[in-house]
Amino acid sequence: MKTTFIRAGAVVALVAAGMLGLSACGGDGANSPSGPGSSQQGAGQESEAFIADLSEGVKIVNDQIAEVGDLDQIMLASDVKQPTQKYGLWVMPYYPSEAVEKYISTIQIEDGKFVVTATSAETGKVWQMDQDGNISEADKK
């Protein structure tokens, strides 16, 4: 039980550090490089509520992994009030704000790595945040 609290605390600290890093990147981007890895700078145009919603999704998944252990998938759903297991899949309550137009509910987890993906209601852009709180614009296919 103590280990679970320590892990949860570490996850919260990582998400907080990621959010602090994002707010530090909020400049105009005129001197920032373009190309791979620079899309985190572009997230500065998104609302704090949208970034907080992505962070909350990451926290929910990280907390469940810390509590249950190795998982292949977790579903985020706004129609459940408490964590539920259906057909071997954990369904976790997730209530994003109006800043999120839509989100991918089924999160694939591979070796503890995953992304939470959502569309911004304000800009219409699709963003993803990984298990460590790194945000990037989702690839357009």
Name residue, tokens 């190795």.
Answer: 70
Domain of residue 21, residue span: 2-137
Domain count within the chain:
1
Q: What is the pTM of this model?
A: 0.69
Per-residue pLDDT of the chain (141 residues; tens, 9 = 90+): 445 444 544 444 444 444 444 444 443 333 333 333 334 455 778 899 999 999 999 999 999 999 998 899 999 999 999 999 988 899 999 999 999 999 999 999 999 999 999 999 999 999 999 999 999 998 765
User: What single string gives the DSSP state of each residue in 40-58?
Assistant: HHHGGGS-HHHHHHHHHHH
Which residues have C-beta within 8 Å of that of residue 49, sequence separation ≥ 6? 97, 98, 99
For residues 133 and 113, the answer to whether their CB atoms sit within 8 Å is no
